[in-house]
Amino acid sequence: AVDANVIELDSVKAQQQILVLLYDLTDMRRIEQMQLDFVGNVSHELKTPITAISGFAETLLSGAQDDPETREQFLKIIYDESQHLNQLIQDILALSRTDRNQHGQTQTVHVQAMVNNELGLLQQLIQQRELTVSVKVPEQLTVQIEAAKLEQIIKNLIYNAVFYNRDHGKVTIEAEIKAQQFYFRVQDTGIGIAADEQPRVFERFYRVDKARARNSGGTGLGLAIVQENIKFLGGQIRLQSQLGVGSTFSVELPLD
Ligand code: ADP
């Protein structure tokens, strides 16, 4: 009877081990598939601007450059597409740094200055859209954090709040430290995101409105970068949104 028990116990263990192994393998397959999908998506996303750049350059070279108006128009397209290509490569590199678990340096970040810097880069769009931006970040607020990672989070959330807003809309940016946690919130009065789309917007290359996103110069990687950087820093992000009303992205990061 004792022997039988031992055998039984052993076989239960073995079954558990097999189950764990199977689970590992499905996990590995899933990761492998995700990597394959990512490479496929990247190639596709790179192809679009490259095709446009070479197509318009070729047309210019084969005579279109003689007409000043056409030349200007085509050069503008070539410039915009190469800017998009540049952004795409920067975003892919940003994701690859978190994928490879690469740690950067912890620095003292002056949050208000970082926010204002990002807003400065978006000034033209903010003015065009006549948006009201309010920054509720205490002047003295600093955090000890990997500056480059925090910047990716702040930059992408602010960019989206501006871009997916409506004319005369509002953007509110708030930050505070409470109980060793850094809270950062970006609220907009923009187009909003439907409930079923909300979990998907953090996926790589996922866009709610593909046509509109293409014009935005966005890469579809912004929120994936935000989420990966937050995960890397041990924090979390929450999205509250209502279609046609607006969205709020709330970030919580632990401070050591
Ligand atoms: P993109 O480069 O297209 O902006 P993101 O990963 O930053 O890529 O966002 C994914 C999608 O989520 C966007 O294409 C857009 O449809 C939606 N989205 C992101 N932020 C907002 C927002 N603040 N308001 C409404 N929709 C948003």
Residue 27 or 87, more confident: 87
Q: How far apart are CA 35 and CA 32, in angstroms?
A: 5
Q: Note whether 85 and 43 are within 8 A (CB).
A: no
Beta strand pairing call for 170-178 and 142-146:
unpaired
Strand partners, 88: none
Instruction: Please indicate whether residue 201, judged by its CB atom, sits closer than 6 Å to ligand 1.
Output: yes
Instruction: Please indicate whether residue 109, judged by its CB atom, sits closer than 6 Å to ligand 1.
Output: no
Whether 224 shows a pLDDT value over 60: the answer reads: yes
Instruction: Output the CA torsion sign for 97, 101, 104, 107.
Output: positive
Q: For residue 171, how far is its CA from the centre of ligand 1 (angstroms)?
A: 15
pLDDT band at 106 (very low <50, low <70, confident <90, very high): very high
Which of 166, 198, 207, 230 to mutate to test ligand 1, by most ligand atoms within 8 A of the CB atom? 207
Q: What tokens were used for 249?
A: 């992205």
Residue 29 or 128, more confident: 128
Q: How far apart are CA 202 and CA 205, in angstroms?
A: 9
Q: Note whether 142 and 110 are within 8 A (CB).
A: yes
The model's pLDDT over 129-183, given as tens digits with 9 standing for 90+, comes to 999 999 999 999 999 999 999 999 999 999 999 999 999 999 999 999 999 999 9
The reported pTM is 0.84
- The share of the chain scoring above pLDDT 90, in percent, equals 71
Take atom 12 of ligand 1 and give the residue whose Cα is closest.
Answer: 201
Q: For residue 157, how far is its CA from the centre of ligand 1 (angstroms)?
A: 9
Q: For residue 26, how far is its CA from the centre of ligand 1 (angstroms)?
A: 30
* DSSP E strand boundaries for the chain: 106-110, 132-136, 142-146, 170-178, 181-188, 236-242, 246-254
Q: How far apart are CA 178 and CA 138, in angstroms?
A: 13
Instruction: Please indicate whether residue 91, judged by its CB atom, sits closer than 6 Å to ligand 1.
Output: no
Give me the chain's average pLDDT, please.
90
Q: What tokens were used for 101?
A: 């678990």
Take atom 21 of ligand 1 and give the residue whose Cα is closest.
Answer: 160
The verdict on ipTM greater than 0.90 is: yes
Q: What tokens were used for 39?
A: 């490479």
pLDDT band at 6 (very low <50, low <70, confident <90, very high): low
Lowest mean pLDDT among 45-49, 157-161, 165-169, 227-231: 45-49
Take atom 20 of ligand 1 and give the residue whose Cα is closest.
Answer: 160
